[in-house]
Amino acid sequence: MKMRGARILLESLRCEGVKHVFGYPGGAVLHIYDELVKHAEELGITHYLVRHEQASLFGAAGYAQATGKTGVALVTSGPGGTNAVTGIANAFMDSLPMVVFTGQVPTHLIGNDAFQEADLTGITRSCTKHNYLVKHVEDLAPTIKEAFHVASTGRPGPVLVDLPKDMTAQEIEFSYPETIDIRSYKPQVYGDPKAVRKAVGAMLQAERPVLYIGGGAHAAGAYEEVKQLAEKLNLPTTCTLMGLGAFPASHPLSLGMLGMHGGYWTNMAVNNSDLLISIGARFDDRVTGKLSEFASGAKFIHVDIDASCISKNVPCDYPVVGDAKIVVQQMLKELEEQLAGGEKVASKVSWHDQIAAWKKQHPLWWKEEGDVIKPQYVIEELHRITKGQAVVSSDVGQHQMWTAQLYGFDTPRNWLNSGGLGAMGYGFPAAVGAAVARPNDLCVAVVGDGGFQMVLNELATVKQYNIPVKILLINNGFLGMVRQWQEQFYEHRYSHSNIEVQPDFVKLADSYGVAAFRATKMNEVSHTLEKALNTPGPVLIEMKVAREENVFPIVPAGAALKDMILS
């Protein structure tokens, strides 16, 4: 049967198992939306109308982070596509599988500066894993098949498919490819056996090792494997911001998060290690601090599916290119063989004792101040009430770091945030995507008053579809992390970080028909949280917290981990 391109797009999504699409209509994609309203039920696809195109990308990103499945976003041409660029860049930085469909002017108008024309393939070339401009309708289905394959394999990432309006109008017979074979794209998933053997030998001999887990462990689903590796070799284990939850925070070997806002004991362990074993992490600047002084006495094992990441920031002694899950499986098998051959695991008793002493010397702490709500207490109570099992997303800033430090993620894919790009406004729409993907789980968006005001119009989205996201608003009346840096490094010059005008957030939520609660004193926090989290549907929970509370520890920009400021 002949179908117009718009229907072919939707049938292709059905073939890929897509159930949810986040989008915003416009002229260039009207054929698609017309087919969607006519065939949505038989296709089994639910579309969620966001209130800004950026939220469609953040929603798809939250969906991808919470499930590992490919998120899908649909926006129109011109400003629709350019509004989506931040979300595309976010997915690229955090290696999230996503396929983004953008409308485009008809092919005969491309290059003519037509109404709502933008060179979206050119604009997004540097922040997509790959992108396509469909110029022939017969290429549409194969292109979509290829886009989903590229987005979800190897190092995941966003793929953009730009659709001229005439490509969605023309009719051809629909045929979807069953398989895909891209000759120039063959991700390496198995580690080189010799490299694996050398890496395992180094692990056996190390006396002060640290296992360092990144977001790549989530992408590969390597949770059980890294846990076994840590337990078999008695490895102290730390996670990056994006890796939290890949190794249980409550495990005796867990060191928590490392880096700029990592624990003192964690950073000291990394700094004094003799072997750093990196699984699916990329040694970014928020982890390493001053590169020349980062774990300067250590050798480095680096497992990554993206060969370009290895030795990019830190020279690697034992590189292994491959999928994290498969490579660690290889390591476990090699470890058994070497132990059976008479090799011994070096004792680490004194190393664990030293780390415990560092933790006792400088634990994470905060100070009560009468009735003033401390944000750290809010996060601790959130963990207690939810038993650490909520899906938690965040914006970027102080509240993000307090949540990363204190919530204690034991379950994979329960921590969603914009790690690489650091995009404010991510937390709320990402939680929307997670709640759509995982309707039986409690989804909480921990947001700041700055980031929330960038996306608060999405209250309409959660109300329209009754998406039960709980929005935990940590309101200090500042752009908190900016203010902290201005206090610590710019002599208290609070230049444009004081949010002097705010809405009444409770009344605002009420105007959208969303239930809302507020706490202004410490003794109100627990009751307010419990009542709000048990209220059906979407809920806003405002916590009026201490205005000038700071996140500690902090490693100043450009400083070494050992130079962290503790209080």
> Are 97 and 157 contacting, i.e. CB atoms less than 8 angstroms apart?
yes
Give the separation between CA 80 and CA 103, rounded to whole angstroms.
8
Q: Which amino acid, 303? A: V
DSSP class of 467: -
Query: 11, 16, 35, 53: which one is catalytic?
Result: 53
Residue with tokens 């005001």: 453
Tokens of 201: 């030998």
Backbone angles phi and psi of 140, in degrees to 5: -65, -55
> Are 248 and 224 contacting, i.e. CB atoms less than 8 angstroms apart?
no
Tokens of 455: 């996306």
> Are 455 and 428 contacting, i.e. CB atoms less than 8 angstroms apart?
yes
Give the separation between CA 439 and CA 416, rounded to whole angstroms.
16
Backbone angles phi and psi of 179, in degrees to 5: -135, 165
Give the separation between CA 346 and CA 369, rounded to whole angstroms.
47
Query: 38, 115, 207, 488: which one is catalytic?
Result: 115
Q: Is 115 a catalytic residue?
A: yes
**Cβ–Cβ contacts within 10 Å for residue 360, how many?**
9
Give the separation between CA 78 and CA 236, rounded to whole angstroms.
50
Q: How many angstroms separate the Cα of 282 from the Cα of each of 219, 276, 301, 314, 545?
A: 13, 13, 12, 9, 35
Q: Is 409 a catalytic residue?
A: no
Query: 116, 338, 354, 464: which one is catalytic?
Result: 116
Query: 98, 481, 543, 564: which one is catalytic?
Result: 481
Cβ-Cβ contacts under 8 Å for 66 (sequence gap 6 or more)? 391, 413, 414, 416, 433, 434, 437, 438
Query: 129, 165, 374, 470: which one is catalytic?
Result: 165
> Are 31 and 169 contacting, i.e. CB atoms less than 8 angstroms apart?
yes
Q: Is 165 a catalytic residue?
A: yes
Active site residues: 53, 115-116, 165, 481
